[in-house]
């Protein structure tokens, strides 16, 4: 018998399926499969809503609120994480991480929402891990009263949780614009949000300004909400145009710098605050790289000294290193200076919107007015229901005996309410209320006391109805709440402002500074000559511009700092290395032009310094015969500022300024009347403030004034010690004939 031939299948038949394969455009696939995921990430995960919270934050806080953690002792974080899973079906690790950022211990927020105990890591450190949830304890901070107020009075919508067993709020009825007080960052699909934090007191003031005047502009708001404020402090380099762009559009960038102090005794720099956008590990890694590349020879060691007292990164300096110059270098090479990029993307009515501060505050006001109206309507309904019951009770007052008779003669319990309704012409609700009154309360006194409430309730209902209907009154109501929040929780700014024109640009590259000895010559007209020793060995003669003369001359070196004072009460800072070397016969650099003085401003004193010793002083002598001694340390700044205002008192014109080191100096003061005194600088009292007017040193009569002042060692007079005075104030001694002639020549 022949075998049956095996049937062969074609490839199409072999791999065929019941459902035929059809062509589909990629755009349709993305729309059907990817878009729902993208929208879920945008709306339900990454972008904050107008109350300032993402869903994860809101679920954690609301769970703690329902657990009764507004009062009482703390509970283990693990309890909160477990309870939150009823609203947030994610792993316990992600829930706990979300909660950590809301705690006081983590230092991520200006106003933390969770009072914590235990190790919660730090915002400024990526390696400092938080402890497990079974070890830490939490409760809600009292500040949360301002985000939950009215939530039990129908202030916001409540929706079912994921398994329809519980209710949770769509938003929290925050009584202040938390969206701008709590910093927030999120990356969604195709968009992102990065909102910096602002000072609560300033935000309250700005919101009140818009409540009073809806036409308030972003520029008007900048006078109240000065700049962002971060929990980590630091310095914000203030550029009004850059910030105005952020205030108007919600997009832009500003720069932040670390705050540091120089410890002279240990010769080290202590960095106490860093930009909010970086971490200590990022900075230290960059420092390690710079040391390995031999680009950071100024530092002998650096270490993380963070402890219970707070943040500290210490840099040990080599001998002779200028701390300010080093920090300028590090600002350019490390994240000690960093940019913060703003992108104010907020969910408003379920849709992402990018807007500036004015737009956000207006949307928050709209949201808050809705919450307040709903809360007031809830109270109004309660009062109306209470009044309705009391009106029914008042009708019994007409015949209490009849009410008792109706109840007594009614045979069936179910007929009591209908009989009362019929007997007093009241509705079922009123009758139920009356029927539930105890027999002991069916007396005239009790009923009269209840009825008295009717008039009070009528007034309260009328007032609430008017408040709900009046937009102006609602705005005043919200403004009053904001003023109270500012009073209770407002804090001074942590992030200090430094104007960009007072900050030297960070140096991206820092060439090695060649330190060599120089002679500094300052003329009376404000020209500075930096002359090298090699040039001094030549036969070049010291010359000045016609009409100009020598003011001061000192030995220095190219690595020192320079400090100058102008006749407008200003102090300017620079470096010796910033000036070009020249010959003794050259004109030199014009200080006023070099340091950008105002057109009518002139240099009156200059000195090179290594640092700012506490016992060294600047002595100012004024036209009215007064003098003051200001500590040199008063001109030391935490940031690298090149200009200081109010350097000395402008109450009387300045005649001269002098430098006092470790030892006192002798000063010669000369009056227009041809009298003089020589006093030791130790007689001049030291002032604690730069703008002190000083003490009378030279007694000058009306019409007389001080016209010259010299160091005794540089005085042109023949015998300046002949005018010595050992007590002040002192009257002048008449100049000798030769000294009078020299005075007249010098004043020409």
- Per the rule left: phi > 0, alpha: psi between -120 and 50, beta: everything else, 294 is left
Which of 34, 37, 135, 516 is flagged as catalytic?
135
Are 221 and 513 contacting, i.e. CB atoms less than 8 angstroms apart? no
Concatenate the DSSP letters of all residues of 159-214 into one string. Answer: EE-TTSSSEEESS---SS-HHHHS-EEEE-SS-EEEE--B-HHHHHHHHHHHHH-T
- Element (H or E) spanning 138, and its range? strand 137-140
The pLDDT score that the predictor gives to residue 2 is: 46
Q: For residue 294, name the pLDDT band (cuts at 50, 70, 90).
A: confident
In a domain, 241, yes or no: no
Residue 301: which domain range?
A: 259-335
Q: Is the pLDDT of residue 743 over 80?
A: no
Three-class secondary structure of residue 396 per DSSP: helix
Residue-wise pLDDT tens digits, 645-702: 899 999 999 999 999 998 899 999 999 888 999 999 999 988 888 989 999 999 988 8
- Angle between helix 357-396 and 416-424 (nearest 10): 90
Are 236 and 502 contacting, i.e. CB atoms less than 8 angstroms apart? no
Partnered with residue 503 across adjacent β-strands are: 641
Task: Kindly state whether residues 331 and 375 are assigned to the same domain.
Answer: no
Query: Cβ of 231: how many Cβ atoms within 10 Å?
Result: 20
Span 699-717, average pLDDT: 88
Q: Is the pLDDT of residue 609 over 60?
A: yes
Partnered with residue 288 across adjacent β-strands are: none
pTM over 0.75: no
Query: Cβ of 132: how many Cβ atoms within 10 Å?
Result: 13
In a domain, 639, yes or no: yes
d(CA 117, CA 102): 13
Show which of 593, 608, 623 is a domain's final residue.
608
Query: Cβ of 496: how many Cβ atoms within 10 Å?
Result: 18
The pLDDT score that the predictor gives to residue 747 is: 62
The pLDDT score that the predictor gives to residue 544 is: 87
CB neighbour list of residue 728: distance below 8 Å, 6 or more residues apart: 679, 683, 684, 695, 696, 697, 698
**Does residue 162 carry a catalytic annotation?**
no
CA angle (76, 77, 83) in 5-degree steps: 100
What beta strand segments (E) does 223-317 contain?
A: 235-238, 251-257, 259-263, 268-273, 299-304, 313-317
Q: Is the pLDDT of residue 416 over 70?
A: yes
Are 232 and 273 contacting, i.e. CB atoms less than 8 angstroms apart? yes
Concatenate the DSSP letters of all residues of 265-301 into one string. Answer: TTTEEEEEE--TT--HHHHHHHHHHHHHTT--TTEEE
- pLDDT higher for 182 or 21? 182
In this structure, of 161-165, 384-388, 507-511, 547-551, the range with the lowest mean pLDDT score is 507-511
The CATH number of whichever domain residue 149 belongs to comes to: 3.90.199.10
CB neighbour list of residue 690: distance below 8 Å, 6 or more residues apart: 630, 634, 635, 646, 647, 648
Residue 506, classified by CB atoms within 10 Å of its CB into exposed (0-12), middle (13-18) or buried (19+), is: buried
Helix/strand/coil percentages in the chain, nearest 5: 35, 25, 40
Place of tokens 């550029």: 239
The pLDDT score that the predictor gives to residue 291 is: 84
The pLDDT score that the predictor gives to residue 88 is: 84
Q: Is the pLDDT of residue 378 over 80?
A: yes
In a domain, 31, yes or no: no
Task: Kindly state whether residues 63 and 132 are assigned to the same domain.
Answer: yes
- Joined together, the tokens standing for residue 103 give 């705690």
Are 236 and 384 contacting, i.e. CB atoms less than 8 angstroms apart? no
Q: What is the CA radius of gyration of the chain?
A: 39
The CATH number of whichever domain residue 290 belongs to comes to: 3.30.1360.40
Task: Kindly state whether residues 301 and 381 are assigned to the same domain.
Answer: no
Q: For residue 604, name the pLDDT band (cuts at 50, 70, 90).
A: very high
In a domain, 691, yes or no: yes
Tell me whether strands 643-644 and 184-187 are parallel, antiparallel or unpaired. Answer: unpaired
Span 496-517, average pLDDT: 70
Span 17-33, average pLDDT: 68
CB neighbour list of residue 522: distance below 8 Å, 6 or more residues apart: 528, 529, 550, 551, 552, 553, 591, 603, 606
Show which of 125, 158, 173 is a domain's final residue.
173
Task: Kindly state whether residues 653 and 735 are assigned to the same domain.
Answer: yes
Task: Kindly state whether residues 628 and 743 are assigned to the same domain.
Answer: yes
The pLDDT score that the predictor gives to residue 174 is: 95
Q: Torsions phi, psi of 402, nearest 5?
A: -65, -40
In a domain, 521, yes or no: yes
In a domain, 84, yes or no: yes
Of 555, 476, 543, the closest CA to residue 518 belongs to 555
Give me the sign of the Cα torsion angle 312, 315, 320, 321: negative
Q: What is the mean pLDDT of the chain?
A: 87
Show which of 580, 608, 636 is a domain's final residue.
608
Task: Kindly state whether residues 616 and 646 are assigned to the same domain.
Answer: yes
- Joined together, the tokens standing for residue 520 give 């500094």
Task: Kindly state whether residues 669 and 739 are assigned to the same domain.
Answer: yes
Q: Is the pLDDT of residue 118 over 50?
A: yes
Burial profile 395-420: b = 16 or more Cβ within 10 angstroms, e = fewer: bbeeeeeebeebbeebeeeeebbebb
Task: Kindly state whether residues 472 and 537 are assigned to the same domain.
Answer: no
Q: Is the pLDDT of residue 524 over 60?
A: yes
The pLDDT score that the predictor gives to residue 4 is: 46
Query: Cβ of 583: how many Cβ atoms within 10 Å?
Result: 17
Number of compact structural domains in the chain: 5
The pLDDT score that the predictor gives to residue 17 is: 52
DSSP-derived letter for residue 43 is: I
Residue-wise pLDDT tens digits, 197-211: 999 999 999 999 999
Residues belonging to the chain: 748
Task: Kindly state whether residues 721 and 604 are assigned to the same domain.
Answer: no
In a domain, 352, yes or no: no
- Joined together, the tokens standing for residue 348 give 């408003």
Query: Cβ of 141: how many Cβ atoms within 10 Å?
Result: 18
Residue-wise pLDDT tens digits, 134-193: 999 999 999 999 999 999 999 999 999 988 999 999 999 999 999 999 988 877 676 788
d(CA 700, CA 316): 52
Span 10-32, average pLDDT: 63
- Per the rule left: phi > 0, alpha: psi between -120 and 50, beta: everything else, 692 is beta
CB neighbour list of residue 208: distance below 8 Å, 6 or more residues apart: 479, 482, 483
The pLDDT score that the predictor gives to residue 601 is: 92
Q: DSSP alpha helices (H): ranges in 540-642?
A: 591-594
- pLDDT higher for 479 or 127? 479
CA angle (8, 12, 18) in 5-degree steps: 110
Of 555, 574, 556, the closest CA to residue 565 belongs to 574
The pLDDT score that the predictor gives to residue 510 is: 45
Place of tokens 């969770």: 114
CB neighbour list of residue 624: distance below 8 Å, 6 or more residues apart: 651, 652, 700, 705, 706
The pLDDT score that the predictor gives to residue 563 is: 93
- pLDDT higher for 738 or 281? 281
In this structure, of 292-296, 411-415, 471-475, 503-507, the range with the lowest mean pLDDT score is 503-507
Task: Kindly state whether residues 588 and 685 are assigned to the same domain.
Answer: no
Task: Kindly state whether residues 672 and 720 are assigned to the same domain.
Answer: yes
- Joined together, the tokens standing for residue 741 give 């002639």
Three-class secondary structure of residue 557 per DSSP: strand
The pLDDT score that the predictor gives to residue 6 is: 47
Q: For residue 11, name the pLDDT band (cuts at 50, 70, 90).
A: low
Q: For residue 495, name the pLDDT band (cuts at 50, 70, 90).
A: very high
In a domain, 726, yes or no: yes
Q: Is the pLDDT of residue 1 over 90?
A: no
Task: Kindly state whether residues 661 and 738 are assigned to the same domain.
Answer: yes
The CATH number of whichever domain residue 391 belongs to comes to: 1.10.268.10
The pLDDT score that the predictor gives to residue 5 is: 47
């Amino acid at each position: 018998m022949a075998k049956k031939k095996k049937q062969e299948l074609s490839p199409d038949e072999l791999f065929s399926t019941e459902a035929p394969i059809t062509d589909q455009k990629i755009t349709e696939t993305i729309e059907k499969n990817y878009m729902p995921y993208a929208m879920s990430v945008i709306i339900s995960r990454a972008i904050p809503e107008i109350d300032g919270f993402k869903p994860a934050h809101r679920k954690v806080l609301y769970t703690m609120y329902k657990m009764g953690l507004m009062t009482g002792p703390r509970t283990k974080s693990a309890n909160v994480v477990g309870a939150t899973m009823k609203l947030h079906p994610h792993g316990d690790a992600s829930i706990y991480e979300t909660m950590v950022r809301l705690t006081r211990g983590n230092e991520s927020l200006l106003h933390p929402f969770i009072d914590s105990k235990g190790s919660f890591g730090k915002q400024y450190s990526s390696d400092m891990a938080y402890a497990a949830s079974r070890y830490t304890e939490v409760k809600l901070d009292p500040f949360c009263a301002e985000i939950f107020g009215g939530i039990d009075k129908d202030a916001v919508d409540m929706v079912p949780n994921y398994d329809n067993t519980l209710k949770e709020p769509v938003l929290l009825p925050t009584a202040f614009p938390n969206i701008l007080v709590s910093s927030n960052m999120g990356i969604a699909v195709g968009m992102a949000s990065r909102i910096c934090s602002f000072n609560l007191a300033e935000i309250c003031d700005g919101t009140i300004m818009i409540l009073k005047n809806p036409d308030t502009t972003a520029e008007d708001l900048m006078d109240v909400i000065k700049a962002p404020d971060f929990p980590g402090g630091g310095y914000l380099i203030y550029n009004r145009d850059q910030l105005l762009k952020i205030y108007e559009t919600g997009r832009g960038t500003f720069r932040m710098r670390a705050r540091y102090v120089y410890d002279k005794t240990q010769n080290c720099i202590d960095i106490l605050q860093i930009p909010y956008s970086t971490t200590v590990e990022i900075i230290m890694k960059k420092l390690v790289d710079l040391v390995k590349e031999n680009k950071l020879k100024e530092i002998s060691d650096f270490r993380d000294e963070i402890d219970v007292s707070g943040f500290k990164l210490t840099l040990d300096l080599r001998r002779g290193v200028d701390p300010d110059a080093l920090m300028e270098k590090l600002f350019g090479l490390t994240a000690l200076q960093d940019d913060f990029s703003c992108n104010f993307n907020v969910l408003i009515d379920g849709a992402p919107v990018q807007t500036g501060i004015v737009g956000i505050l207006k949307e928050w006001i709209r949201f808050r007015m809705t919450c307040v109206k709903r809360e007031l309507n809830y109270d109004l309904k309660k009062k109306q229901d209470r009044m309705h019951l009391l009106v029914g009770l008042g009708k019994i007052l007409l015949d209490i005996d009849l009410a008792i008779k109706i109840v007594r003669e009614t045979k069936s319990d179910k007929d009591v309410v209908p009989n009362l309704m019929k007997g007093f012409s009241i509705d079922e609700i009123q009758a139920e209320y009356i029927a539930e009154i105890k027999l002991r309360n069916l007396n005239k006194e009790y009923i009269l006391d209840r009825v008295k409430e009717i008039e009070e309730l009528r007034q309260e209902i009328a007032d609430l109805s008017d408040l709900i209907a009046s937009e102006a009154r609602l705005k005043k109501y919200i403004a009053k709440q904001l003023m109270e929040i500012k009073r209770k929780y407002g804090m001074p700014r942590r992030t200090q402002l430094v104007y960009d024109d007072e900050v030297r640009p960070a140096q991206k590259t820092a060439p090695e500074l060649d330190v060599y000895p120089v002679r500094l010559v300052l003329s009376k007209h404000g020209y500075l000559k930096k002359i090298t020793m090699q040039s001094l060995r030549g036969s070049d003669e010291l010359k000045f511009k016609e009409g100009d003369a020598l003011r001061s001359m000192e030995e220095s070196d190219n690595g020192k700092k320079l400090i100058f004072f102008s006749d407008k009460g200003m102090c300017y800072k620079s470096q010796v290395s910033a000036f070009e070397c020249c010959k003794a016969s050259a004109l030199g650099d014009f200080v006023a032009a070099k340091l950008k003085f105002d057109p009518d401003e002139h240099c009156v004193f200059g000195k090179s310094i290594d640092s700012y010793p506490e016992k060294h002083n600047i002595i100012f002598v004024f036209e009215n015969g007064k003098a003051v001694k200001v500590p040199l340390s008063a001109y030391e700044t935490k940031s690298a500022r090149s200009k200081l205002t109010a350097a000395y008192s402008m109450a009387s014109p300045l005649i001269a300024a002098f430098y006092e080191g470790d030892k006192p100096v002798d000063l010669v003061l000369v009056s227009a009347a041809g009298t003089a005194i020589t006093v030791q600088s130790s007689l001049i009292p030291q002032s604690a403030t730069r703008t002190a007017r000083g003490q009378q040193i030279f007694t000058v009569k009306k019409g007389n004034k001080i016209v010259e002042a010299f160091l005794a060692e540089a005085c042109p007079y023949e015998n300046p010690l002949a005018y010595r005075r050992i007590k002040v104030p002192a009257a002048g001694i008449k100049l000798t004939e030769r000294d009078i002639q020299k005075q007249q020549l010098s004043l020409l």
